[in-house]
Structure 1
Amino acid sequence: MRRIELDGADWSPKAPVVSSLAPADARPAWMRKDQPHTQKQFVFEKPSEVERRVPEAGVIDKPGVYELSKGPTGISRIHLIPGFIDSEQADWMFEQLLQDIPWGQRTHIRQEVSFEEPRLTSWYGELPYTYSRITMQPNPNWHPLLTVLKERIEEFTGYTFNSLLCNLYRNEKDSVDWHSDDEPSLGKNPTIASLSFGATRTFEMRKKPSPEENGDYTYVERLKIPLDHGTLLMMEGATQADWQHRVPKEYHSRDARINLTFRIIYPESDGVWE
Structure 2
Amino acid sequence: MSDKRQRARVQGSWAKPLPKHSGTTGAIPNNNPSNNANAASGSWGCGPQKTTKTFEFHQPTKPTREVPPEKVIEQAGDYEISHGPSGVSRLRLLPGFLPPEEADWMFSKLLAELPWSQKSNYRQGEAYQEPRLTCWYGELPYTYARSTMAANTQWHPLLATLRETVSQASGLSFNSLLCNLYRDGHDSIGWHSDDEASLGTKPTIASISLGDTRVFSLRKQPPPEEIGDYTYVERIRVPLNHGTLLLMEGATQDDWQHQVAKEYHDRGPRINLTFRTIYPEPEGHRPGTKMRFTAKNL
The TM-score by the shorter chain falls in which range? Answer: 0.7 to 0.9
Of 124, 127, 133, the match for 1:111: 124
Indicate if the aligned counterparts of 2:212 and 2:267 stay in contact, CA closer than 8 A.
yes
- Equivalent runs, 1:73-112 vs 2, <5 Å: 73-112=86-125
> In the alignment, does 2:264 pair up with 1:251?
yes
Aligned to 1:191: 204
Give, in whole Å, the separation in 2 of the partners of 1:269 and 1:51: 47
Aligned to 1:233: 246
The alpha-carbon deviation at position 270 of structure 1 amounts to: 1.5
The alpha-carbon deviation at position 111 of structure 1 amounts to: 3.1
Q: Which has the higher strand share?
A: 1
Aligned to 2:58: 46
Give, in whole Å, the separation in 2 of the partners of 1:185 and 1:237: 16
Of 199, 207, 215, the match for 2:220: 207
Instruction: Report Cα offsets for 1:31-70 as digits up to 9, x if no partner.
Output: xxxxxxxxxx996422145321212211000000000001
Indicate if the aligned counterparts of 2:197 and 2:281 stay in contact, CA closer than 8 A.
no
Percent of matched pairs sharing the same residue: 59
Q: Which runs of 5+ in 1 are unaligned?
A: 1-40
Instruction: Report Cα offsets for 1:160-214 as digits up to 9, x if no partner.
Output: 0000000000000000000000000000000000000000000000000001111
Instruction: Report Cα offsets for 1:129-178 as digits up to 9, x if no partner.
Output: 11111111111000000000000010111100000000000000000000
Of 156, 175, 179, the match for 2:192: 179
What secondary structure is seen at the aligned counterpart in 2 of 1:232? strand
> In the alignment, does 2:173 pair up with 1:153?
no
Aligned to 1:132: 145
The alpha-carbon deviation at position 73 of structure 1 amounts to: 1.0
What secondary structure is seen at the aligned counterpart in 2 of 1:98? helix
Q: Which runs of 5+ in 2 are unaligned?
A: 1-52, 286-290, 292-296
Indicate if the aligned counterparts of 2:123 and 2:145 stay in contact, CA closer than 8 A.
no
Give, in whole Å, the separation in 1 of the partners of 2:55 and 2:69: 39
Aligned to 1:167: 180
Give, in whole Å, the separation in 1 of the partners of 2:212 and 2:283: 43
Of 252, 255, 276, the match for 1:263: 276
Q: Following superposition, which runs of at least 4 residues in structure 1 exceed 6 angstroms of deviation?
A: none
Give, in whole Å, the separation in 2 of the partners of 1:234 and 1:140: 24
Give, in whole Å, the separation in 1 of the partners of 2:233 and 2:187: 25
Q: Which has the higher helix share?
A: 2
Instruction: Report Cα offsets for 1:209-258 as digits up to 9, x if no partner.
Output: 00111110000000000000000000000000000000000021100000
What amino acid is the match of 2:71? G
Indicate if the aligned counterparts of 2:200 and 2:279 stay in contact, CA closer than 8 A.
yes
Give, in whole Å, the separation in 2 of the partners of 1:271 and 1:145: 36
Say which is worse superposed, 111-120 or 167-176, in terms of deviation: 111-120
Aligned to 1:26: none
Give, in whole Å, the separation in 2 of the partners of 1:81 and 1:195: 10
Give, in whole Å, the separation in 1 of the partners of 2:254 and 2:131: 25
Q: TM-score, normalised by structure 1?
A: 0.82
Give, in whole Å, the separation in 2 of the partners of 1:268 and 1:64: 34
Aligned to 1:32: none
Q: TM-score, normalised by structure 2?
A: 0.76
The alpha-carbon deviation at position 269 of structure 1 amounts to: 3.4
Give, in whole Å, the separation in 2 of the partners of 1:185 and 1:220: 28
